[in-house]
Copies of this chain bind each other. A is one copy, B any other.
Amino acid sequence: MSDAVSPLATPFPALPAIAGVTPRVARAGYKDWGRCDLTYVELAEGTSVAGVFTRNVCCSSEVELGRIYVKQGLGRALVVNAGNSNAFTGYRGREAVEQIMAQVADHLGCAKEQVFVSSTGVIGVPLPKDKARAGVESALAAPECTWEEAARTIGTTDTFAKGATATAMIGDTTVTLCAIIKGSGMIAPDMATMLGYVFTDAAVEPAFLQQLLSAANLRTFSCITVDSDTSTSDTVLAFATGKAGNAPLASFDSPGADAFAAALEDVCRQLAHLVVRDGEGAQKFITVHVTGAVSDESARRVGLAIANSPLVKTAIAGEDANWGRVVMAVGKAGEPADRDRLSIGFGGTWAAKEGQPLADYDEAPVAAHLRGREIGIEVDLGLGDGSATVWTCDLTHGYISINADYRS
């Protein structure tokens, strides 16, 4: 964790224990951090698993193997290494992952395919197998830790620990979801763009859990961006232990499925927002709301073109209501748009309508809005009923400082 906490940070929430989920942390020493860097989460037998993974074609072995093994539907353990992403390390990196899976599977007496591994940190350095072995051994013997300790341990350049919770009623049973996430740079959508983990005591069939996670991902993790760069390691996994004792959810026909889906999307959105709030150098949290597009997907793409535009992000950093840059970003998105139907606003005040600056546009309320921490950009394309909301942060000197000397 970095010393200077993001000004957009929120306190770590009170997260309850989840029956069947036991987090532990240890110190493998992947970097010379004076803190734990290996997180181990043990899951009860019969836990369902689902996952979404980066589409970066240069992905890590962790992602390659996770993508295959998540299909068998069961998860007994999760191991997260922080400080080394083990990406682009060829067969040596893959051997390290397989060693961890075998070591944990031996300990639990389960199939190694039920052990999920993630790694995050520098690219191109094979995960040292000796440090991994000793770290896992130490974690297996460690006492249960808090969610906040686990959240802190999976972090790298994060400046604060990130967690979220929600509940849902399934029949007469209250089920609980707890989730943690890490991420602040190399964040772009089109996939799960960070390491995030959702744990619930609900009973959910693996295939349905996958369906719900994929759908939630599209409206949450796939709607955020920090810097348009896409990690080689990004992963979101959901684990459902079934210990709450509800009748297992198998489809939207199962009673309580809608409530659970809403709660899952809720924690995913909370996690996604937390990543943006810890965006490298972020000083402002920006919500881009696009309406009037030809489809929801078109609206999302326009929103991301705005949210990824360095000129829009620096304008917000400078507290400048430069809506012309928003026009530019809409125009370059490659989506249907008509200059003469386009309207742009900030924080609920329209600056331009139907292709022209408003004659009576009063910049004072917009200027006041832009001096705040929570910024709204509203775009109406005037073409159809498609809409989307996308979240990002501003682009500041802090981003340059963090990234011009990250590895050295």
Contact = CB atoms under 8 A, between A and B. Distances in A.
Interface stretch (A2-10, A194-202, A293-301, A325-333): A325-333
Within the oligomer, what is the number of copies of this chain? 2
Given A328-B229, A332-B230, A403 B314 contact: yes
Contacts of A55: 332
Contacts of A395: 400
Nearest to A226: B310
A327 B400 contact: no
Interface stretch (A20-28, A131-139, A264-272, A351-359): A351-359
Nearest to A188: B332
Interface in A195-232: 227-232
B318 A405 contact: yes
Interface stretch (A31-39, A96-104, A119-127): A119-127
A320 interface: yes
Interface stretch (A146-154, A158-166, A335-343): A335-343
Chain A interface mostly: loop
A94 to B, nearest CB: 11
A69 B407 CA distance: 52
Nearest to A310: B227
A308 interface: yes
Interface string A224-262: 000111111000000000000000000000000000000
Contacts of A304: none
Contacts of A320: 404-408
Contacts of A74: none
A228 B404 contact: no
5 contacts: A57-B330, A122-B324, A186-B311, A228-B308, A229-B325
A223 B395 CA distance: 25
A197 to B, nearest CB: 22
A231 to B, nearest CB: 7
Given A88-B356, A124-B323, A324-B88, A310 B399 contact: yes
Interface of A: 55-59, 85, 87-90, 92, 122-125, 185-186, 188, 227-232, 308-311, 314-315, 317-318, 320, 322-325, 327-332, 337-340, 342, 352, 355-357, 395-397, 399-401, 403-408
A166 B324 CA distance: 37
A276 to B, nearest CB: 15
Contact of A124 (B310, B318, B338, B352): B352
Given A57-B339, A227-B310, A229-B310, A324 B404 contact: no
Top 3 A-B pairs ranked by shortest CB distance? A123-B324, A58-B331, A318-B404
Contact of A309 (B229, B318, B322): B229
A237 to B, nearest CB: 21
B232 A328 contact: yes
Given A88-B352, A227-B311, A310-B227, A324 B403 contact: no
A397 B400 CA distance: 6
B406 A328 contact: no
Given A55-B332, A88-B355, A229-B325, 9 more contacts: A57-B339, A58-B331, A125-B357, A230-B331, A310-B310, A311-B403, A315-B404, A318-B403, A320-B408
